[in-house]
Amino acid sequence: MPDVNATNTQTQEEVVADVLKEIKTIGEDSKANYSELNKAHAELKKIVDTFGEKKEADAVLVEKYDKISTDIATRQNEIDKKLNSRVDAMEIAMKRHRGGVEAGSQEKKDAKDFQIACMSASPNGVSFDAIKTMEVDVQAYQNYKSAFDTFLRTKGDERQMTPGDFKSLSVGVDPDGGYTVTPEMSSRIVQRLFESDPVRQLAGSQSISTQALEMLVDDGQAGVGWEAETETGDETDTPQLNKKRIPVHVAYAKPRATQTLLEDSSINAETWLSDHISRRIGRQEAAAFVTGDGVGKPRGFLDYANGTGWGQIEQVAMGAAAALTVDGFISVKYSLIEEYLNRGTWLMNRSTVAAAMKLKDGEGRYIWSPGLATDETSTILGLPVRMSTTMPAVAAGALSVAIADWRDAYLIVDRLGITVQRDPYTAKPFVEFYTRKRVGGDVVNFRGIKLGVISA
């Protein structure tokens, strides 16, 4: 894969050549992966056909079916994640090159991002005028990067830090006593969160520099009518505006490392820390976006009451007791209006996907279609399928299936800046890194999402 951090020094021709090479590699890898997936699907079809020939399903055959169907779902998810990651890397490489801007411009951009993040942590926050008149200090940012690495590694008595290190770190001091992480580290954390969380990949997102995002949502329609050539029409209804406030909450992690590990010069402390943080916060975020109650955490879409009005999400009965049905999927799909249906994506648990793979329509055709080409993803009734561990498994009364135009229906709000506080005392001989990320999330368009409820 092209080194996205080195693209600033490449010519445009070199960047294009690298990207074309990467595209070819993706194609070859995808061909091999989808070939194996196709074989597994063919084997699965043989087993299902055997079910139809037998009066009773063989236990061994059922176990083999479940194993293969689960393997197909898992493999499909891994292929999608790998492709998305590699395509994102290529896009970053092209964006950073920017058609041949001068060397060092990326560091200047990072320095500016860092200064904005530091400003966002101040009581006054960030203003457009302040950013517009801000002078970017690349040297101060370079000094901070060097001092921050020393800060992560230094001993508890801080003998390794010089007065110059303390001075350089002072520009990144958060009001709560932490230090703002460098833009590279922040980007790594956010990117890994994006890769691990399907809701974050699907939903809309907004970065803010305040405590909450407030917005007006037009959830109604203006009344219209017809008037005759010589008559004036009556007054029509005015659409209703609803105010939505999405506060940010603190997601935190406390990874630990021994002082010996941090002192080892072969270990990249920033990379190690960002890996641990992204894994822990990623799992916590994913659960909150789905089931969170909005108290001290984002509010998930499963937390809303059943209904069709503002502040409610319609729950569509799927028709069978504690089981999935083809008719149920059809009912859920077409409960979305056309405006959102064309951009709809299914979201469900991996076990629910495996159960859906067994369903056939009235003519014996599977409603689940595996993505067997490089530009395809798995679909159910023609719409893409994504898997979320937090979605409930199939059970009586469970909200096991969701479908939405996610970018329009759910909004994730990120507060600028991620901070780190270093604690070498509480858990000796370990050093604990208390890391905070402020994030919020909520449904903003209740018409753009529907839930499938399994009958009791």
| The one-letter amino acid at 290 | V
Residues 332-339: contacts with CB under 8 Å, at least 24 apart: 332/401, 332/403, 332/450, 332/451, 332/452, 333/381, 333/383, 333/403, 335/450, 336/403, 336/404, 336/405, 336/448, 336/450, 337/447, 339/405
Average pLDDT over residues 203-218: 84
CA distances from 190 to 109, 183, 292, 296 (A): 17, 10, 20, 20
**Would you state the structure tokens that stand for residue 442, as one six-digit string?**
């909520």
More confident residue, 287 or 279: 287
Lowest mean pLDDT among 172-176, 339-343, 354-358, 450-454: 172-176
The helix/strand count (H/E) of the chain reads as: 14, 17
Q: Give the CA count within 13 Å in the CB-facing half-sphere of 406.
A: 22
pTM given for the model: 0.66
Per-residue pLDDT at 98 exceeds 50: no
Per-residue pLDDT at 320 exceeds 50: yes
Is residue 9 very low, low, confident or very high in pLDDT (cuts 50, 70, 90)?
very low
Per-residue pLDDT at 450 exceeds 80: yes
Q: Is residue 434 exposed (0-12), middle (13-18) or buried (19+ Cβ within 10 Å)?
A: middle
C-alpha span between 343 and 406 (Å, rounded): 8
Residue (of 394, 388, 432) closest to 406 by Cα position? 388
C-alpha span between 363 and 99 (Å, rounded): 54
The answer to whether 66 and 51 are in contact (CB under 8 A) is no
Strands 399-404 and 312-313: unpaired
Query: Percent of the chain beyond pLDDT 70?
Result: 64
Q: Mind listing the pLDDT tens digit for each residue in 281-290?
A: 888 888 999 9
**Would you state the structure tokens that stand for residue 277, as one six-digit string?**
């943080």
Q: Is residue 291 exposed (0-12), middle (13-18) or buried (19+ Cβ within 10 Å)?
A: middle
Per-residue pLDDT at 133 exceeds 90: no
Is residue 21 very low, low, confident or very high in pLDDT (cuts 50, 70, 90)?
low
Strands 383-387 and 430-443: unpaired
